[in-house]
Amino acid sequence: MFRTVLKSLAVLAVVAFASPIIAQQAAKSVAPVVTQAAPAAAPAPVTAQPSSPVASPAASTALASPVMEAAPRPMVATGEHDLSPWKMFMGADIIVKAVMVGLAFASVVTWTVGIFKMMELTWAMRRLKAALRKIGESRSLSEAQMALGERGTILSRFLAAAMREGRMSAGISSDEGIKERAASSFGEIVRAEGRKVRTGMGILATIGATSPFVGLFGTVWGIMNSFIGISKSQTTNLAVVAPGIAEALLATAIGLVAAIPAVIIYNHFSRVTKAYMEIVGRAQGAAGRLLSRDLDRTHSSSHARAAAE
Residue 204 is assigned to a structural domain of this protein? yes
pTM: 0.65
How far apart (Å, rounded) are the C-alpha atoms in residues 96 and 306?
A: 84
Closest CA to 244 of 263, 264, 230, 256: 230
What is the number of domains present in the chain?
A: 1
- CA 114 to CA 242: how far, in whole Å? 37
Residue 92 lies in a domain: yes
**DSSP 3-state assignment of 199?**
coil
Residue 282 has pLDDT above 70, yes or no: yes
Among 74-78, 117-121, 167-171, the minimum mean pLDDT is found in: 74-78
Q: For residue 222, tell me if it sits in a domain.
A: yes
Highest mean pLDDT pick, 9-13, 17-21, 285-289: 285-289
Report the SS3 class of residue 70.
Answer: helix
**157 closest CA partner among 131, 138, 136:** 131
Mean pLDDT of 107-112: 96
What are the tens digits of pLDDT across the range 14-55? 444 444 444 444 444 434 433 343 344 344 444 434 444 444
Q: Could you tell me if residue 220 is inside a domain? A: yes
Report pLDDT for 39: 41
Residues above pLDDT 70, as percent of the chain: 68
In whole angstroms, give the CA distance from residue 75 to residue 110. Answer: 43
Mean pLDDT of 279-283: 94
Does the pLDDT at position 172 exceed 50?
A: yes
Average of per-residue pLDDT values in the chain: 75
What's the confidence (pLDDT) of residue 248? Answer: 82
The boundaries of the domain holding residue 279 are 86-308
What's the CA gap between 26 and 23, in Å, rounded? Answer: 5
In a domain, residue 120? The reply is yes
Q: Helices 238-308 & 94-134, crossing angle to 10 degrees? A: 20
Does any domain span residue 51?
A: no
Q: Is position 247 within any domain?
A: yes
For residue 17, being part of any structural domain is answered with no
Q: Can you give the pLDDT at residue 76?
A: 40
